[in-house]
Structure 1
Amino acid sequence: MTGPGTAPAPPSRGGRWIQHWDPENETFWKETGEKVARRNLYFSVLSEHIGFSVWTLWSVLVLFMGPEYGLTPADKFMLTSMVTLVGAVVRVPYTFAVAVFGGRNWTIVSAGMLLIPTVAAFTVMEPGTSFSTFLLVGLLAGVGGGNFASSMTNINAFFPLRKKGWALGLNAGGGNIGVPVIQLAALAIIGAGGGPRVLLGVYIPLIVVAAVLAALFMDNLENVKNDTGAAKDAARDAHTWIMSLLYIGTFGSFIGYSFAFGQVLQNQFGRTPLEAAYVTFIGPLLGSLIRPLGGWLADRYGGAKISLWNYVAMGVATAVLIGASMEKSLALFTAAFVVLFVLSGLGNGSTFKMIPGIFQNKALAKGLQGEAAAAYGRRLSGASMGLIGAVGALGGVGINLAFRQSFLSYGSGTGAFVAFLAFYVVCFAVTWAVYLRRTASRVPEASTASEAKPQLSYAEV
């Protein structure tokens, strides 16, 4: 509810903690809140963007690692799998770190922590280093995957409900673009005859800049509290795990393919590091840019419907990839892979937009109305997003392990693509069965309103 005509006093800057924050108050938002929220958003995006770049660093570094490094294709896929795994797991504690330490404070810490894997990689990146050393250093890079969870949690608290979609979309998209940016940087460095240490040397000062800017320009919110009860309630709800499965199919595909694309081009089609780098950035770039469109389409037509048909399209693109892989057609393979990236990004937007709608519907089914229903939906959807984001990222682990096994068994990625096609069929079936099937049969007109009330309709989520 809008308060009196005058806005509350400007936020306290003491210790960079804001004592009063009420973005739903329109006067407060217009006069003081919006400017502060946008400033925190922009510097949060910067830190998250570099976090994504560091997380996917090894998707680029393995392209530099020729025969002199003594690593097999299976070794490289195992390395990127473990980096993805750590990035997925740390998303859970990162989700709650903002409430424990404060958004600004944790952004400084999490940005500074990116120096550890980057400096470590700079130190060991040379022929003769053992695979176990590379694996250990690669595991450290997983901390970059956690920045997404803490950044989304932090920015969610700054914006009013009516602005969250735009803010979270910009935050997520700005982070995801860190994947193609580091791949483009690698392309420029490889093209100029530079090595992996040059790439790492570029990112080390950028990490310092991000941490310093967060310290200078970001804020903590005093009223952000760690609601562990919400996390427990979200974990008990079946929809959290159903949506986790669906998010594996979209974001898991995006991050998994981001790590694996260049390696597949090298191992299956004999591309050089430079030739692979020329195309590997295109898919992640387009997939990142199209994510907001997936959310917009979900707003307009319903996330379940968009996600359902997106899984169909992902299955078709994967079938084309299988054919191109068997026929050894590089042009068709590359084009279909880029299309699959785009579809994964579109699905990222549509599946994530389903989450608040699902819990809002559950609130209405419980008989809640107005602000009570909105509060219930916000509480559970916010808590579930951290879990769903973490589980979804595990899909990237599965993709890299599947490629590893496929190359070990068949010498190509064809077997892995068959498994991915089967998984997209499962995602299609689950989306239809859980969120669309029940809406196919209308409630008879003779039914009373009270009889129809318990029927949940998820078609528009």
Structure 2
Amino acid sequence: MTIEIDTPRPTATAPDADATAPPRRRTGRWIDHWDPEDTAFWESTGKRVARRNLAWSIFAEHLGFSVWLLWSVTATFLASAGFAFTPQQLFWLVAAPNLVGSLIRLPYTFAVPRFGARNWTVVSAALLLVPTALFAFFVQRPDTPYWVFIVIAATAGVGGGNFASSMASINFFYPASRKGTALGLNAAGGNLGVSLVQLFLPVIVGGAGLFGLVAASGSIHLERAAYVWGGLALVAAAGAFFFMNNLAVASSRPREQLRVVRYRHTWIMAFLYIGTFGSFIGFSAAMPLLIKINFFNQPTPDVVGIGINVASFAFLGALVGSITRPFGGWLADRFGGARVTVASFALMTIGTLAVLVTLTRLTPVPKVDPTTVDPATFTYPDAVRSAVESNEQVFWFFLAAFLFVFAASGMGNGSTYRMIPIIWKVRAEAAGPEGSPERGAALVQATREASAVLGIVGAIGAIGGFLIPMTFGAPWIDDPVAAVRSAFAVFAGFYVVCLLVTWAVYLRPGSAMSRARV
């Protein structure tokens, strides 16, 4: 058996290739025959090609997540860069990329079968240059209107679409027995992009970071972040162009994929994924601002602030959630996805209530009139310093509870994604007795539909990344701290609803889903 992979121009399909393999449709790095379920093919050629594509897919998706969440930590430095935005406006800047990122996940999913995995990775990586270039230009101009920043932040949403196309791409490269590991690595590598941008951006722009190992430089240069991640995007685009492949067999029609919107399980799983992944990405985006609003005090950008340094802790939430995602999938394989998902929502409820309790223990910090502050002579009043120091003691309980929520949401991300193919398999098995043509056809159709559901669920679930920051920045509440407390109470109630829905639909005794250990 032969395979064509690295040819720069069209060539004839090997005579002994599968006769049903689609003909080469375009020039470039297209693979005409791909059969990872063939053990001999996989060991001789497929494994090496798949691993190379996985590596560059992870890198491109990782950068997509980094650019997507670029504003989550940038928002905490805008005041130091000369921008006078309110907390509500900052939460809007954090939320805008998440809304766009969720909306474009569907077209990104359909782009892989239409244009090819390698081709679309090149395009999607190159598109990251748009938000980074706009970012670099306008963050150096403090007189830029706020609405312009909203538009610029929204363009960062293209990074959120990379997850959908990357997962769709890798799904075709690996055999069924290895898909879980490959997709888990791909997803975790992407999620880590959130954590690393929140860890390294403060250091790159001149702020303090790395747990105090790096001191602030005295001036903030936000444009440096755009230069770094824009440059890495070019590397990702070049790497995909030279080292990735398109698969001719990875074809499907959007109309067939969209047919799954008629099934109630598609919407139930999308609802649950809002609770798991929506919480992960929403809390990741909002965590830096939450720390700054509740545990840091700085009356003017010219005065050295006191309290908790955002740069030292903001990245931990996304890091913990990324690490626990594969663990959630592993637990789902052993005990069933629905059981792990119920446990995740229970833990998220407990953790969210614990966060809420810590916020009720905060000491109100007296306001300092910024018009009376002279940076050369200003010292914090004793009442302000005492309140900030008291809140620093509360912070450690807040951080522990919040990381607990992140860990539980990461587990839920892995378990909910594992549930989807099992749900569709159970539905297909009801089409006829074992071994019947009806069941066989239904199982083939279920595999295609499950892939489409993964894309749709991922797109809808990401909307949580928009809703959570917007709830924290509720415009109808004047006090930002009060808005945050109200938001956590709402989230706790939502997780209880998600828990009950999961149990009623997938764990209710006697149901087919429960017997199949969905």
Q: TM-score, normalised by structure 2?
A: 0.82
Q: What is the CA distance between 1:459 and its match in structure 2?
A: 5.6
Q: Over aligned residues, Cα RMSD in angstroms?
A: 1.8
| Distance in 1 (alpha carbons) for counterparts of 2:143 and 2:2 | 62
SS in 2 for 1:69: coil
User: Is the aligned partner of 1:348 residue 2:342?
Assistant: no
1:213 corresponds to which of 220, 234, 239: 239
User: What CA deviation, in whole Å up to 9, does each residue of 1:112-132 have, x standing for no partner?
Assistant: 000000010000003222111
2:380 is aligned to none
User: Is the aligned partner of 1:323 residue 2:357?
Assistant: yes
1:292 corresponds to which of 314, 317, 326: 326
User: Is the aligned partner of 1:422 residue 2:448?
Assistant: no
User: Is the aligned partner of 1:134 residue 2:191?
Assistant: no
1:447 is aligned to none
| Distance in 2 (alpha carbons) for counterparts of 1:310 and 1:297 | 11
More helix by share: 1
Q: What is the CA distance between 1:226 and its match in structure 2?
A: 2.3
Q: What is the CA distance between 1:83 and its match in structure 2?
A: 1.2
Pick which of 24-33 and 51-60 moved more.
24-33
Q: What is the CA distance between 1:222 and its match in structure 2?
A: 1.1
User: What CA deviation, in whole Å up to 9, does each residue of 1:175-227 have, x standing for no partner?
Assistant: 00000111111232322525211222211211111100100000111121123
| Distance in 1 (alpha carbons) for counterparts of 2:517 and 2:89 | 44
Q: What is the CA distance between 1:290 and its match in structure 2?
A: 1.2
Amino acid across the alignment from 1:346: M
Q: Is the 8 A contact 1:64 1:195 kept in 2?
A: no
| Distance in 2 (alpha carbons) for counterparts of 1:409 and 1:417 | 17
Pick which of 100-109 and 359-368 moved more.
359-368
SS in 1 for 2:514: coil
Q: What is the CA distance between 1:318 and its match in structure 2?
A: 0.6
User: What CA deviation, in whole Å up to 9, does each residue of 1:247-304 have, x standing for no partner?
Assistant: 0001000000011001011112226598011101111011101110000000000000
Q: What is the CA distance between 1:368 and its match in structure 2?
A: 6.2
1:125 corresponds to which of 136, 139, 154: 139
Aligned residue-pair number: 441
1:379 is aligned to 448
User: What CA deviation, in whole Å up to 9, does each residue of 1:323-350 have, x standing for no partner?
Assistant: 1011122221111111111111111001
Q: What is the CA distance between 1:423 and its match in structure 2?
A: 0.5
Q: What is the CA distance between 1:378 and its match in structure 2?
A: 1.3
| Distance in 2 (alpha carbons) for counterparts of 1:257 and 1:155 | 27
SS in 1 for 2:143: coil
Which protein is bigger by CA-based radius of gyration?
2
SS in 2 for 1:239: helix
Pick which of 194-203 and 35-44 moved more.
194-203
Pairing of 1:16-165 with structure 2 (within 5 A)? 16-66=29-79, 68-126=82-140, 127-165=142-180
Gaps in structure 1 of 5+ consecutive residues: 1-6, 441-454
Amino acid across the alignment from 1:8: T
| Distance in 1 (alpha carbons) for counterparts of 2:144 and 2:5 | 52
SS in 2 for 1:8: coil
Q: Is the 8 A contact 1:406 1:415 kept in 2?
A: no
1:360 is aligned to 425
Q: Is the 8 A contact 1:83 1:138 kept in 2?
A: yes
Q: TM-score, normalised by structure 1?
A: 0.92
| Distance in 1 (alpha carbons) for counterparts of 2:514 and 2:76 | 48
SS in 1 for 2:474: helix
Amino acid across the alignment from 1:218: M
1:188 is aligned to 203
Pick which of 66-75 and 93-102 moved more.
66-75
SS in 2 for 1:164: helix
User: What CA deviation, in whole Å up to 9, does each residue of 1:335-393 have, x standing for no partner?
Assistant: 11111111111110011110001001111112264654542331111000110000000
Amino acid across the alignment from 1:116: V
| Distance in 2 (alpha carbons) for counterparts of 1:46 and 1:128 | 35
| Distance in 1 (alpha carbons) for counterparts of 2:122 and 2:173 | 17
